[in-house]
Amino acid sequence: MRSAVWYGGEDIRVEEQPKPTLGANEVLVRVKASAVCGTDVHSIEGKFPLTVPPRVLGHEFSGLVEEVGAGVTRVKPGDRVATEPGMVCNACWYCRNGMEHLCLNRSMSPGAFSTHAVLLDRLLWKIPETMSFETASMAEPVACAVHALDLARMRSGDAVAIIGAGGIGLSLLQLALHSGAAKTVVSEPDPKRRALAQEMGADVVIDPRQVDPIAAVRDATYGLGADVVFEAVGHPRTSEQAVQLAAKAGRIVLVGVNPPGAKMEVEPYDLYARELTIVASYMRPYSLGRALRWLEKLRLDPILGPNYELGQTLQAIHALRDKVGIKPLVMP
């Protein structure tokens, strides 16, 4: 078993690891496709405190079951699986009240920029023969988008604004269109990403450096603003802008991860006068199964790639940072 171990900053080294001995409910997965997430970029930039080096990064992956522990019955060697990262205690207040993503004893499962990863059997989801490993690696990020959509309480006919057309923004766009959005506006500075948003069905796609997003959203909504705004960048300025794009009674969902300590300015009177809801979306509780269904419906091929080998893990993370790709993949 070989893993790309991250030692902090840009220091990532491929190292031989001892083959793990499996606990009763553990499964050894041969990693086939492992997608780079924005939080992997934040990790190497020191802006994501949930990851502490040394560790193996990568949490969006699919693979083949290679070996199972004595108590595992849900999967068997040879099964193709998508995975749900993160371990919870099943005993704390939150776990026992339907909020296991907020578990007080939550820990990270081993990373997947590695030939193998060990996971609890309950974190594995079988995927159909017809689904590629590359597509299945999107189960986790799409599940995050599904959770954000749950929080948005969207109604049929809503106008939806999306700030940022990366992997999450473009997934949200497609999910919103399938879920009843009658008008969609996407704001994204990168021309390739804008073209994809257009192709995937957005009504209005703007470059925020050229066009004022507030004016664009008002133009598209009889001057009202968007019923639902998704912030999929993770920056305080775009978070503030998200509030400005909302219509009265609008729901603003912060999906992008801001660096800790970043501050956004909000005017409480404005929240009151327009009865706005600002909600942040954390992880992907109870949404991975639904995400797997969506994977067969969404257009994800244009989002995936380029592909890298395990030894090129740092290049793969740079490819996302430098916008060479939207979902670069490590294929260990």
Amino acid in position 255: V
Amino acid in position 217: V
- State the Cα–Cα distance between residues 252 and 229, nearest whole angstrom: 5
Which chain residues interact with Zn ion by CB under 5 A?
37, 88-89, 92, 95, 103
The distance of closest approach from Cβ of residue 204 to Zn ion in the complex, given in angstroms and rounded to an integer, is 28
Q: Which is nearer to Zn ion, 137 or 221 (CB)?
A: 137
- State the Cα–Cα distance between residues 94 and 283, nearest whole angstrom: 14
Per 3-state DSSP, the chain is made up of helix, strand and coil in percentages (nearest 5) of 30, 25, 45
Q: Which is nearer to Zn ion, 88 or 247 (CB)?
A: 88
Q: Are 42 and 261 in contact (CB under 8 A)?
A: no
The distance of closest approach from Cβ of residue 320 to Zn ion in the complex, given in angstroms and rounded to an integer, is 11
Give the three-state DSSP class for 126: strand
The distance of closest approach from Cβ of residue 147 to Zn ion in the complex, given in angstroms and rounded to an integer, is 12
User: Who's near 249: CB < 8 A, 6+ residues apart?
Assistant: 227, 274, 275, 276
The distance of closest approach from Cβ of residue 168 to Zn ion in the complex, given in angstroms and rounded to an integer, is 8
Q: Which is nearer to Zn ion, 89 or 266 (CB)?
A: 89
- State the Cα–Cα distance between residues 215 and 283, nearest whole angstrom: 32
- State the Cα–Cα distance between residues 111 and 209, nearest whole angstrom: 37
- State the Cα–Cα distance between residues 274 and 263, nearest whole angstrom: 22
Which residues are catalytically annotated?
39, 42
Q: Which is nearer to Zn ion, 111 or 213 (CB)?
A: 111
In the block, tokens 């030894």 appear at: 311
The distance of closest approach from Cβ of residue 136 to Zn ion in the complex, given in angstroms and rounded to an integer, is 14
Q: What is the number of H-type helices and E-type strands within the chain?
A: 10, 16
Q: Which is nearer to Zn ion, 92 or 280 (CB)?
A: 92
